[in-house]
């Protein structure tokens, strides 16, 4: 008898309707997961079910639909809290996306707390969403931003980080997994060193939350942000985790309904956490669907996803080695994320992406919202293939074949 061990992807691919189509008469190979992930049926059905049966505004009504909507909305918050091991759902604030979550901290904490000369430490590999809000804070407060550079292996430069930390450091905001380099930064150690000098730490978990187990209590960070759409959830929903005492001390972000306890013509009082930061009617269906996405990931097992993606990464990098003319960015060793950003001399990344699309392969080309990092490499952009657990080893092989054919077509 032959026992066939099926890969994770073959077991769950049927859950993703969008993957089963042809693009330009070729089977779609979706390798743009670092930009956004696809959505399983369970998530699509959660949205449909909500609008067909439960749609009502939350937290306001006594009627059945409003109670159901509120319960589902708050249950999803509990799922997010459990997923990252927050101490309580009150530490989870829904936002539109990770970008809004970072801006919330910039406006509600940094603008109040930072003064001229205070120091913010970021790294050169940060996404624009973890650069621009702090640049805006620096412009308004006079705070100074310092950047951790890269090692020779193109990873987070730990010794440079240590040398930048001082009693003047008030905030450290660092990406967990780089969306361009694919390196995994030592967030626990980063947090513990920052806390020793009294600085607060924000972790950008956009590229880690979808792919590996996260434990905010173990990491010890003060804030952590992620976007739902990169972890099988819909667009329009993300979250901010913040330690309860810190969120309590922060001033509100946007003002309006839902975030208040009492309103008078002369003053107002804030609602309790986390509602204090959720002004106006929220993205109810999207929050509930994010809960469904988390259920889906949890049922597969985020550890299983991480283990399978490690296999994909190994295979991807083994096969990419066959193409020596590729300049791949970031560390080339196990433990990195299942993505590869690269350039080929004499070829524009967007031309490459366009031709790959003709063969059904979806990869990204451009600066991936990391322009300063690309500038360090003297590149205006790069091509990036990024994988998720529904991708297969066979898709990697097809991608490599198509990539080789395309490069020879361009004569590079
Ligand atoms: C995608 C991404 C962001 C921004 O996410 P949005 O959903 O656009 O807000 C921030 N940081 C990293 C590392 C990302 O990959």
Give mean pLDDT, residues 338-366: 97
What is the reported pLDDT for 60? 79
Give mean pLDDT, residues 31-59: 97
What is the reported pLDDT for 200? 98
> Among 365, 354, 368, 366, which residue's Cα sits nearest to residue 406?
354
In the predicted model, is pLDDT for residue 223 greater than 90?
A: yes
Q: What is the largest CA-CA distance in the chain?
A: 79
Range(s) within the chain of domains with CATH label 3.40.640.10: 44-298
Q: Which CATH architecture has domain 8-30+301-409?
A: Alpha-Beta Complex (3.90)
Residue 176 Cα: closest atom of ligand 1 = 13
Range(s) within the chain of domains with CATH label 3.90.1150.10: 8-30+301-409
What is the reported pLDDT for 215? 98
pLDDT tens-digit map of 68-119: 999 999 999 999 999 999 999 999 999 999 999 999 999 999 999 999 999 9
DSSP code of residue 271: P
For the chain, the average pLDDT equals: 97
CA dihedral 389, 236, 381, 386 (to 10 degrees): 0
In the predicted model, is pLDDT for residue 4 greater than 60?
A: no
Contacts for 354 with CB less than 8 Å, ≥ 6 apart: none
Q: What confidence tier does 334 reach under pLDDT thresholds 50, 70, 90? A: confident
Residue 368 Cα: closest atom of ligand 1 = 15
Structure token pair of residue 219: 């990491």
Q: CA-based angle 244:250:254, to the nearest 5?
A: 115
In the predicted model, is pLDDT for residue 1 greater than 80?
A: no
> Among 80, 35, 89, which residue's Cα sits nearest to residue 206?
35
What is the reported pLDDT for 5? 59
What is the reported pLDDT for 42? 98
- Cα–Cα distance measured from residue 376 to residue 149, given in angstroms and rounded to the nearest whole number: 10
* CA dihedral for 7, 11, 12, 15, sign (positive or negative): positive
Give mean pLDDT, residues 52-70: 94
Angle between helices 349-358 and 393-410 (to 10 degrees): 120
Name the residue of 35, 129, 229 to mutate for ligand 1: max ligand atoms within 8 A of Cβ: 129
Cα–ligand 1 centroid distance for 129 (angstroms): 7
Give mean pLDDT, residues 246-264: 97
Cα–ligand 1 centroid distance for 227 (angstroms): 7
Q: Where are the alpha helices (DSSP H) in 321-392?
A: 349-358, 371-376
* pTM above threshold 0.95: yes
In the predicted model, is pLDDT for residue 2 greater than 80?
A: no
In the predicted model, is pLDDT for residue 128 greater than 50?
A: yes
Residue 98 Cα: closest atom of ligand 1 = 9
- Cα–Cα distance measured from residue 70 to residue 137, given in angstroms and rounded to the nearest whole number: 35
In the predicted model, is pLDDT for residue 159 greater than 90?
A: yes
Give mean pLDDT, residues 263-274: 97
Residue bearing tokens 């997994």: 177
Active-site residue, 369 included = yes
Cα–ligand 1 centroid distance for 225 (angstroms): 9
By DSSP bridging, strand 382-386 and strand 326-328 are unpaired
- Cα–Cα distance measured from residue 181 to residue 377, given in angstroms and rounded to the nearest whole number: 11
Does CATH place domain 44-298 in 3.40.50.720? no
In the predicted model, is pLDDT for residue 358 greater than 50?
A: yes
| Ligand 1, CB cutoff 6 Å, lining residues | 34, 97-99, 127, 129-130, 175, 179, 204, 206-207, 227, 238
Give mean pLDDT, residues 206-213: 98
In the predicted model, is pLDDT for residue 343 greater than 60?
A: yes
> Among 102, 160, 129, 204, which residue's Cα sits nearest to residue 370?
129
Structure token pair of residue 131: 């650069």
Residue 126 contacts residue 149 (beta carbons within 8 Å)? no
Residue 234 contacts residue 286 (beta carbons within 8 Å)? yes
């Amino acid at each position: 008898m032959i026992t066939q061990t099926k890969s994770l992807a073959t077991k769950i691919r049927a859950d993703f309707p969008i993957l089963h189509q042809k693009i330009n008469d070729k089977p779609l190979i979706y390798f743009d997961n670092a930009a956004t992930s696809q959505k399983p049926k369970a998530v699509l059905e959660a949205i449909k079910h909500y609008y067909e049966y439960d749609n009502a505004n939350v937290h306001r009504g006594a009627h059945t639909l409003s109670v159901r909507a509120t319960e589902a909305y708050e249950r999803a918050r509990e799922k997010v809290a459990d997923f990252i091991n927050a101490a309580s759902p009150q530490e989870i604030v829904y936002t539109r996306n990770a970008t809004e979550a970072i801006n919330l901290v910039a406006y509600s904490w940094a603008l109040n707390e930072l003064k001229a000369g205070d120091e913010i430490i970021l790294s050169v590999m940060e996404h624009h969403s973890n650069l621009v809000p702090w640049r805006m804070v620096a412009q308004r407060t006079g705070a100074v931003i310092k950047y951790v550079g890269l090692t020779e292996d193109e990873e987070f430069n730990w010794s440079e980080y240590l040398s930048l930390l001082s009693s003047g450091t008030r905030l450290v905001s660092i990406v967990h997994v780089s969306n361009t380099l694919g390196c995994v930064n030592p967030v626990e150690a980063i947090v513990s060193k920052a806390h020793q000098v009294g600085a607060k730490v924000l972790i950008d978990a956009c590229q880690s939350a979808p792919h590996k187990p996260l434990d905010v209590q173990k990491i010890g960070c003060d804030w952590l942000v992620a976007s739902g759409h990169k972890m099988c959830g819909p667009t329009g929903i993300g979250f901010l985790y913040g330690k309860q005492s810190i969120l309590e001390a922060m001033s509100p972000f946007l003002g309006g309904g839902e975030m208040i306890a009492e309103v008078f013509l002369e003053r107002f009082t804030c609602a309790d956490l986390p509602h204090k930061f959720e002004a106006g009617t929220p993205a109810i269906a999207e929050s509930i669907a994010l809960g469904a996405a988390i259920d889906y990931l949890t049922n597969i097992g985020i550890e299983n996803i991480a283990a399978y993606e490690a296999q994909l990464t190994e295979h991807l990098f083994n096969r990419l080695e066959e193409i020596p003319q590729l300049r791949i960015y970031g560390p080339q060793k196990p433990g990195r994320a299942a993505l590869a950003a690269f350039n080929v001399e004499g070829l524009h990344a967007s031309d490459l992406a366009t031709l790959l699309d003709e063969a059904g392969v979806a990869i990204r080309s451009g600066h991936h919202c990391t322009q300063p990092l690309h500038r360090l490499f003297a590149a205006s952009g790069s091509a990036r293939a990024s994988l998720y657990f529904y991708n297969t080893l066979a898709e990697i092989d097809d991608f490599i074949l198509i990539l080789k054919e395309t490069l020879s077509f361009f004569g590079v």
